[in-house]
Chain A
């Protein structure tokens, strides 16, 4: 036992001290945090202020179009032709042309530009004009504004899904959140198995090709040596995962605190601006009340999903899935002499892994289907598929069955792989076939 510990220690320390590990550990969270922060940051980037001259032949919108921080409207008293002729002598970015018959329906407003003006501006103008037209039409028909607004506000609702337990208690679930957690966990497990499985394989190959294996096997049993490596690498993976979680959380926290401050300022400015114009007062009010509600709602949903047991299950499938596959990876590493020879043996190992990632979306669509049920039981696919199902709620017996099947099979595959390993690791310069591997299983020790 003492020797296994020594091996684990070496496998762990040499890997953790590697530059590539340190770089990956730092880069990973940066990338992840970047993925989360960059979109927020991008939306905060104000485009250059655009100046637009409005030629409004309908006289409905003059001086009325609400401005945005990046769009400024001018209403020069000139004809459309004049504006077009003089366009390049002015510093306007675009001409907004509104025809006189705009209210007749099915008509177009036109934007003429020098340089492309961007989707945001185009969309803003489109939706603003449309909203204003809507109000104008209502007014023309003498409809009560407030009645319409009330109808609009009060007819909005959300769908709340709740699981009704046999005990009569009900549990709120949020499909979106469950989906995100499930897929996230599944992808992480997939990455972990692949990344660290191949590390085990490379390690075994390194020992075989450098021949140090012979020295070590004169001190320890092949099985202990293999297990020491597998466990050591697992700890490396766990360390990296933990560091990622901590670093990402810190980075995200720091970034959001500094950036969110700006966002709040922006929102306040924006609101003030709109309030000044005096449009859509009621609508804004509704939004203001609705916003914090949504956030607390997500938090409530977050708590409604049993995060502690999901985390525990995640750790279990994370490790058990890795143990199941890494034994195979070790066996492959022991059987070959060079990286190139690994291909033919790698394929059958990677197929079930990739397959479970492919069917993961179906597990979200229909977590209770019998197909998904079986794939969450079969040990080769269960670590990923079960993890995806889990946030939607899985009966305890199914979880227990899936877990025990996984444990049993990783004990079995480890035992099987050890048989191939102890023969392969001492077999130099021989190209092995599947048949050969099969024979190795039956060699006596």
Chain B
């Protein structure tokens, strides 16, 4: 299937610094794509370029194979990190206005808004001014406005900030539901747990460069370091000796005769060989491979850049 968005060699410079340095991205259709990176890495610049709020200094963008242009604006929905609505305007009126700016017909927008307002249980707030709403409510309104025109590409910048766990879950479900219906979600966040939970693919940007991208599964596999966690009953001494040339003991905890050891395989050793080696000296309770979390990968990658 064709990529919904591809960015080729994007460069964006400001007076004093470079925000994006030769960044290329391929975002496949109907996936949840995580755009990761520390603060100030250039994520917002990239998002603004995709939204055509600003333009790149060089590089090209394609939307479903066509060169990105103003006509694609209506197929993109954007929830900025810094949320904002007109405080003095009524909720319904405002939602209608923003929907019409995205090219929806008034009647159609009204119908869809009714549906979403009921779904999120905020239909009683239609005639209230935005400033009378709680922050969480405002977030809901803003989320609705973002997805109302059923964009093919949905750009969410830190979508869960400001939501309590219950509302976070509602939003999470909506995001997954939208993907099922054919939307692609580009989602920028610092929350690595939600990345593991939701994202199919990611790209990691640091200091205006892309330093990593690919599917979450692949990346985690790629970053695993053949470390196994073994829980057993027996003597730690005997266990350590039995490792011999198969593995290296990284860490250990002992509670009475229950022990836990983290062992890294050495060379071409297979996990079964390790298991066979330790079986004679210890009664194995669990044996599992440690797959690095996105959090670990993020920190490792970004720190490696600093060094």
Contacts and interface: CB of A to CB of B under 8 A. Distances in A.
Interface of A: 3, 6-7, 10, 14, 206-207, 210-221, 426, 428, 439, 443-445
A212 B86 contact: yes
B101 A212 contact: no
22 contacts: A6-B100, A6-B101, A14-B86, A14-B88, A14-B89, A206-B86, A210-B85, A211-B80, A211-B84, A212-B84, A213-B84, A214-B78, A214-B82, A214-B84, A215-B84, A215-B146, A217-B51, A218-B51, A426-B48, A426-B54, A444-B55, A444-B57
A334 B181 CA distance: 39
Contact of A445 (B51, B55, B100, B145): B55
B87 A210 contact: yes
B259 interface: no
B97 A214 contact: no
A24 to B, nearest CB: 17
Interface of B: 15, 48, 51-55, 57, 70, 73, 76, 78, 80, 82-89, 97-98, 100-103, 142, 145-146
Leading 9 A-B pairs by shortest Cβ distance: A211-B84, A212-B84, A219-B101, A211-B82, A218-B78, A214-B80, A218-B51, A210-B84, A217-B53
Nearest to B52: A218
Given A211-B82, A215-B84, A220-B101, 9 more contacts: A14-B88, A210-B86, A210-B87, A211-B84, A213-B84, A214-B78, A221-B70, A428-B82, A445-B54
B57 A215 contact: no
Nearest to B56: A444
A298 to B, nearest CB: 47
Given A3-B101, A6-B97, A439-B15, A218 B73 contact: yes
Nearest to A214: B80
B55 A214 contact: no
A211 B83 contact: yes
B78 A215 contact: yes
Contacts of B89: 14
A25 B37 CA distance: 53
A10 B101 CA distance: 11
A6 B15 CA distance: 34
Contacts of B54: 426, 445
A14 B87 CA distance: 12
A439 B87 CA distance: 32
A401 B98 CA distance: 42
Contacts of A3: 101
A215 B100 CA distance: 13
Contacts of A220: 101
A221 B82 CA distance: 19
A423 to B, nearest CB: 9
Contacts of B103: 219
